[in-house]
């Protein structure tokens, strides 16, 4: 939520920023309905209301809805546009929601995700440098 409403880069990241902003507020409102005394959530909403007109306007609409499946466009700074499908599963015993993202098999987005996974694996395998090695 902070990224979406307070970071200007979010407008490039989200393929459809308006939708991402509306979905974010709707999910926060649904969570606030489940636990209206959650201090962290209350603090977050207060911060966003004071720092973002876009958030404040959407919050006042009270557009509560749940999103269990769909598709979202993203713009990754390295690989470009990605179109991902998602499905969520509520885990009420743990008070969590698991969201799984995927792509259509054989799609351009699948190729881009494989490239990112390969790149991340290479970065993870590189030895860490100590501050003395960097000078």
Give the SS3 label for residue 77.
Answer: coil
Instruction: Please report, rounded to a whole number, the percentage of residues in the chain having pLDDT higher than 70.
Output: 91
Q: Which residue has the higher pLDDT, 103 or 65?
A: 103
The per-residue pLDDT for range 46-69, each reduced to its tens digit, is 999 999 999 999 999 876 666 677
80 with 115, same domain: the answer is yes
Run of H or E residues at 130: none
Q: Decide: 21 and 4 in contact? Cβ < 8 Å.
A: yes
State the alpha helices, DSSP H only, in the chain: 2-6, 10-13, 17-34, 39-51, 53-61, 108-125, 131-134
Of 66, 86, 104, the one marking the end of a domain is: 66
DSSP state of 128: P
Answer whether residue 128 shows pLDDT above 80: no
pLDDT score for 64? 63
- Chain mean pLDDT for the chain: 87
Residue 53 structural domain: 1-66
Of 17, 48, 66, the one marking the end of a domain is: 66
């Amino acid at each position: 939520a902070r990224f979406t409403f307070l970071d200007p880069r979010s407008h490039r990241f989200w393929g459809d920023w308006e939708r991402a902003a509306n979905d974010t507020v709707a999910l926060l409102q649904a969570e606030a309905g489940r636990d209206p005394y959650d201090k962290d959530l209350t603090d977050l909403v207060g911060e966003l209301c004071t720092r973002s007109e876009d958030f404040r306007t959407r919050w006042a609409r009270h557009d509560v809805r749940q999103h269990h499946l769909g598709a979202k466009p993203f713009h990754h700074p390295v690989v470009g546009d990605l179109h991902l499908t998602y499905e969520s599963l509520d885990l009420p015993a743990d008070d969590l929601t698991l969201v799984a993202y995927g792509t259509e098999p054989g799609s351009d987005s699948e190729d881009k995700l494989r490239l990112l996974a390969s790149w991340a694996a290479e970065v993870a395998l590189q030895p860490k440098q100590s501050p003395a090695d960097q000078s």
